[in-house]
Structure 1
């Protein structure tokens, strides 16, 4: 699961670079905000599951589902926080960063460990 989060981070950096070229600093900040709104909750979710597995030996299905629900709520909350703290957000760049970070998980299965 760590490679999925690293791929999300890489996709966020790629989206930030692309947005910086096409939309300038405002777009780069927006793309980074959208991507990090997805990466940070995913990282905490993986960290929590890893800690549970080391402590108990296995993670339960209920813990996984509850953690996924908290992760989704955190993503929505962070996106709301971005809108409050950065009202000059570039919507296209934010969506590019968010979508690339979310879709990076699909490529995690293609990467050999």
Structure 2
């Protein structure tokens, strides 16, 4: 528990996303559908990889002048959006994909941001 307290907010969010993604994949796996499990993994990666990229981009300029931080924020967000679009384009190249599982996991991973805001508020 002590290690979790030392993590930055960004790393806590990424860890929370990884946890939610794992739970959703496990849920699809327990339903006994390998295609849905694989699709859920793809959806989770489509959420986690761009967010990890964004976090790395932001942390690179942490503590520097505001202009560099803002520039890295916009570059990170642009890269994140492009990376997300590319990952979805790759995912949907596979004709045997469960779209519901992909989107369910992707949306579940994004909800971590909402809960992080609610928790931080209190």
Aligned residue-pair number: 109
Q: Which residue of 2 aligns with 1:93?
A: 101
Unpaired segments ≥5 residues, structure 2: 1-9
Q: 1:50 aligns with which of 52, 59, 63?
A: 59
Match of 1:34 among 26, 38, 43: 43
What does residue 3 of structure 1 align with?
Answer: 12
TM-score by length of 2: 0.79
Q: Tell me, yes or no, if the aligned pair for 2:57 and 2:73 is still in contact at 8 Å.
A: no
Instruction: Flag the structure with larger Rg.
Output: 2
In 2, distance between residues paired with 1:3 and 1:26? 29
Consecutive unaligned residues of structure 1, counting only runs of 5 or more, are: none
Q: Is 1:62 equivalent to 2:106 in the alignment?
A: no
Higher relative contact order (CA 8 A, sep 6+): 1
How much has 1:95 moved relative to structure 2?
1.0
Structure 1: how far apart are the matches of 2:79 and 2:46? 13
